Structure 1
Amino acid sequence: MDNNYRLPTGKEIIFILIAFIVTMFVIVIYLGLPIQIALLLIWFIIIIVGLKIGYSYNQLQSGLCKGIYEGMEAILVMISIGALIGTWIASGIVPSIIYAGLHIISPTFFLVTAFIICIITSLATGTSFGSAGTAGIAMIGIGTSFGLPLPLVAGAVISGCYVGDKMSPLSDTTVMTASLSRVDLFDHIKSMSFVSIPSVIITLILFGIANFTVNSKEGSLAQAEKAMGQLSDQFNISGWMAVPLIIVIILLALKVPSVPVILFGSLMGAFWAFWFQGIPFVESIKILYRGNDISSGISFIDNLLNRGGITFMLETVLLVIIALGIGGLMEVIGVTQKISNIFSDWAYNSGRLTLTTLLAGIFGNFFGGAAYVSLLTATKMTEKNYDKLKIKRTVLSRNSEAGGTVTTPMIPWSDGGVFMATTLGISTMHYLPFLWYSFVVLIISIIFGFKGRFIWKTDSYYSEKESYKNLKIETKDADKNIIN
């Protein structure tokens, strides 16, 4: 193997970052072409830089493939949830949830209710994607019928989904972060609670204020009653529709792997569509692949419920694959290592260390396109600095989730951003201003870092401090003896 390669220089890294931003702007915004084309062009730009600094094409391709492989679990989850959404709509499961929600939820408190429901669902299942694909779609339907602004509703839904994604012991990102940081899972969750609990309370207040602000202008029960009538005409609404949802939640709570559980849930949905909705069995199986297709006569119901199926996720999967490839290329040519070295020189206190960890997580989402990549960059770019400053790694794990997990839906081409936009039908840039939980988590994390709050030191720090104190006492006593 040819080892005649080097790390990229600062100028070469700046060139890659600027080329990334310019390419995205020109291709997506100016020319209006698909974002996948822009990301493919960025592949070539990084490959050219890699060849210039001495890497062989085979090395670069191996790094690219490794980046894709590391995000494969998220891709499998997306495909599975696509199938689940299709059959759970066709079977009447999602429509029944929407119907029940319209019947019992008040428009006055809807945003707060949606936020709480999505928190509970994501904590119970450990998946933001699964929560958005089930409870999230239902909340969008209810919010639409109440006449509330959909980007605001999406903000409440996604905020709630990512509380559980960040805090649930069943969440793959929570387990992964604890593992990468080499800390106990429940110590990691306990550390995050110091940021997450106040963040949830503040977010609840913000959505409560927003609900009262928009409700008097736009909330409407007339549209909700019309939607309930149409749903009952189109579907057999029944309490039996809750059975697949309960079974899936129980299986996930028992820590059964998410992909087979979700696929099993989608098969249950196909059977429910056949048994309760009278759809021919072969047709109900086809819905797994092609999604649901109804014509209710009400545009917002058709837009909401004509979705799902594996094909529904194909563009999303392609986008995530290409984005993961960029993350792999950035890793193999040493961009992440170079930035890590820069962070090491700059982060000499807890405030700067917190900020660099958050930035490293955002960097992973922006240039790697996935929560898994962001958690890798956040932990691996900054972990040595925590050890150097003798700060416990539970602070590292907490900050890594703050910069990585909760910022994922903020990036339009990340797996979380693409999935949420596709599933909920609202573009990332429209719901972004209302991701209040994510923003509050970032702000509180930075405040705690610079104020030194809940920044715990390692045992070795206190041992050294005690030894230094004893040494001072001994020196002082020795000086007294000399004087005497």
Structure 2
Amino acid sequence: MNHNHESHGRNPTILEVLLLLALFLAIAFSFTGIFDLSIQLALFIALFLVIMLGLRLGYTYNDLQEALKNGIFNGLEAVLILIAVGALIGTWIAGGIVPSIIYYGLEFIHPSIFLLATVILCAITSLATGTSWGTAGTAGIAMVGVGEGLGIPLPMVVGAVLSGAYFGDKLSPLSDSTVLTASMTKVNIVEHIKSLLFVSIPALIISGIAFTIVGFSYTADNTDLSRVESIMTAIGNTFHISWIMLIPALVVIVLLAMKKPAIPTIAFGALLGAVWAFIFQNMDFISALGTAYEGFSLQSGNEFMDELLNRGGITSMVGSVMVIILGLGFGGLLNYIGALQVLVDSFKKFIKNTGRLSVSTLLTGFLSNVFGCAMYVSLILTPKIMEKSYDRLNVDRRILSRNTEVGGTLTSGMVPWSDNGIFMAAMFGVPVLQYLPYMWLNFAAIILVIIYGYTNKFIWYTERNPENEQIR
């Protein structure tokens, strides 16, 4: 999706770009914060703001519409995964898979180590499956249920889920974002993952320690165990609970670990959920299949359980799908008219050493999430925008791929209108700005990248360059 030089448009000035982005942010914040309007509407309006600027720059409407379509096309896989995950959550609740995980979690996990256990379980799930979204929708939903049962604040539980989910997602060779980053930066995927270990492992340890310390304030003494009992009883009365219920989850994890493609694997998992609902939960098969589209619904009289388990289904993902489609189009247009390039060119003069190079890459990744509204946009644009600066300072491309991943993937869930932010907020019913302070692994990784940049630790060069050794 390169800038089209055959068109007769000029590049925007930095002032035009800043005005456009300021206008977009003003609309986005006022719609969501003041007028209680949807972010989707703000994005839809933003498309026309970019088109108006494009026309002013001399592009034709047809060229701009083509750029819009190209932008959307580049991220359509995310839409299909989202639809499959929605179907999976619906049937896995109906089939007793999610309720069984919640039940066993409440039975076996001690409140004081619950947050650490959540980070570890979600890290293992996402390492095995390569998807932070799939992890959030399966292990994540279950752990949020357990945490709610134990009386631990929901935003904190979501922070622990996301810390684990993004850890595995970064290091799994099955992860589409990891593969995309490696290919965009022209780095071998194994080398890319190896360089990420220097950031991810310490970040996991730091966040694990932090969650453990906080977890100790939730001991059995100040946890309402009668509430835990009543939830377990309600789940046990409503669903047939058994270890057999965990088989579909294992099947999906094994298939993904065998490098089977994500969309059909998740869809197959959803079908297994419907079969399980029919066999074990006394649901007729047609109704069970219906939960893939409509989601699961239950009126048990236990308010907590109804709220926890009435979710899922393809229809629950419609809002997220709209954000991704409009966001990808917005990012595609901004890229096409050269707006992002103009922004980055303006801070090229600032990049004189590896510390500033790292900060600039993180900022580019974050801003691509803010203005491109999708992690894919960030992972495609950041390497394109930053690679010349790395080559100029003779910094190895593995550092570019690592910093792109941290700046692009790990900040996506922090932006309320990005694909990840919308998905996670919708999935857990916790607004982005509430769970944001607890994304400890993500913050630790960002800080480590900046420290490495300024201290020259774990930074590799394409050739020994004495200048780089002296510049700090």
Q: Structure 1 length normalisation: TM-score?
A: 0.93
Contact persistence 2:111–2:218 (CA under 8 A) = no
Superposition pairs for residues 78-227 of structure 1, below 5 Å?
78-215=82-219, 219-227=223-231
1:395-437 Cα deviation digits (max 9, x unpaired): 0000000100111110111111111111111111110111111
The answer to whether 1:371 aligns with 2:375 is: yes
| Amino acid in structure 1 at the alignment position of 2:139 | A
Distance 2:69 2:223 in 1: 49
Residue of 227, 241, 244 corresponding to 1:240: 244
Q: Secondary structure at the match of 2:217?
A: helix
Q: Is residue 286 of structure 1 aligned with residue 258 of structure 2?
A: no
Matched, 1:407 2:411: yes
Looking at structure 2, the residues matched to 214 and 23 of structure 1 have their Cα atoms a distance apart, in angstroms, of: 41
Per-residue CA shift, 1:354-396, capped at 9, x if unaligned? 0111011101111111111111122111111111111100000
Indicate whether 1:352 and 2:356 are aligned.
Answer: yes
- Whichever residue aligns with residue 202 of structure 2, its letter is P
Rounded to whole Å, the distance in 2 between the matches of 1:307 and 1:313 is 10
User: Alignment partner of 1:391: what SS?
Assistant: coil
Q: Distance in 1 between matches of 2:224 and 2:439?
A: 24
Rg (Cα) greater in structure: 1
Distance apart, 1:225 and its partner CA: 1.2
Contact 2:83 2:317 in 1 (8 A): yes
Shift, 1:2, TM fit:
6.9
The aligned counterpart of 2:387 is: 383
1:31-50 alignment runs, 5 A limit: 31-50=35-54
CA distance in structure 2 between the partners assigned to 1:188 and 1:218 by the alignment: 44
- Counterpart of 1:402 in 2: which secondary structure? helix
Identity among equivalent pairs (%): 49
Structure 2 partner of 1:266 = 270
Helix, strand or coil for the counterpart of 1:41?
A: helix
Q: Which amino acid is 2:77 matched to?
A: E
Q: Bigger shift: 96-105 or 336-345? A: 336-345
CA-to-aligned-CA distance 1:229-260 (integer Å, 9 cap, x gap): 11010000011111111111111011111000
Query: For the residues of structure 2 that align with 1:217 and 1:400, how far apart are their CA atoms?
Result: 44
Shift of residue 140, structure 1, vs aligned partner: 0.4
Gaps of 5+ in 2: 468-472
> Mapping of 1:302-341 within 5 angstroms?
302-341=306-345
- Asked if 1 retains the 8 angstrom alpha-carbon contact of 2:110 and 2:220, the reply is no
Which residue matches 1:12? 16
Question: Is 2:112–2:218's contact at 8 Å kept on the other side of the alignment?
Answer: no
1:73-132 C-alpha deviation (Å, 9 max, x unpaired) = 111100000000000000000000001111110001100100110000000000000000
Contact 1:107 1:220 in 2 (8 A): no
1:217 offset after TM fit, Å?
8.2
Query: For the aligned residues, what is the CA RMSD?
Result: 1.5
- Aligned mate of 1:453, from 449, 452, 457: 457
Q: Distance between the aligned counterparts of 2:298 and 2:45, measured in 1?
A: 38
What SS is found at the alignment partner of 2:184? helix
Query: C-alpha offsets along residues 31-57 of structure 1, whole Å, 9 cap, x if unaligned?
Result: 111111111111111111111011111
How far residue 339 of structure 1 moved from its aligned partner, in angstroms, is 2.3
What is the match of residue 25 of structure 2?
Answer: 21
Partner Cα separation in structure 1 for residue 90 and residue 239 of structure 2? 14
Contact 1:411 1:428 in 2 (8 A): yes
Query: Is the CA contact 1:343–1:382 (under 8 Å) kept in the aligned structure 2?
Result: no
Decide whether the 8 Å contact of 1:344 with 1:382 is kept in 2.
Answer: no
Q: Is the 8 A contact 1:147 1:218 kept in 2?
A: no
Does structure 1 retain, via aligned residues, the 8 Å contact 2:111–2:220? no
Deviates more, 1:218-227 or 1:121-130: 218-227
Contact kept? 1:99, 1:231, Cα under 8 Å: yes
Structure 1 match to 2:470: none
* Shift, 1:215, TM fit: 4.4
Q: Give the aligned residue type for 1:102.
A: L
**Normalized against structure 2, the TM-score is what?**
0.96
Q: Does 1:249 align with 2:290?
A: no
1:250-288 C-alpha deviation (Å, 9 max, x unpaired): 110111110000000000101110010010111111111
- Structure-1 separation of matches of 2:233 and 2:7: 69
Distance in 1 separating the partners of 2:215 and 2:313: 33
- For the structure 1 residues 125 and 331, does the alpha-carbon distance in structure 2 shift closer, same or farther, using more than 3 Å as the test? same
Paired amino acid for 2:32: V
Q: Which shifted more, 59-68 or 2-11? A: 2-11
Determine helix, strand or coil for the equivalent of 1:213. Answer: coil
Which protein has the bigger helix share?
A: 1
Unaligned runs of 5+ residues in structure 1 are 467-484
Whichever residue aligns with residue 134 of structure 1, its letter is T
Query: Where does residue 469 of structure 1 map in the other structure?
Result: none
Pair 1:51-2:45 in alignment = no
Separation in 2 of the partners of 1:218 and 1:377?
Answer: 48
Query: Residue type of the partner of 1:336?
Result: L
Partners of 2:62 and 2:215 in 1: how far apart? 55
The answer to whether the 8 A contact 1:366-1:411 is kept is yes
Q: Which residue of 1 aligns with 2:430?
A: 426
CA drift at 1:219: 2.6
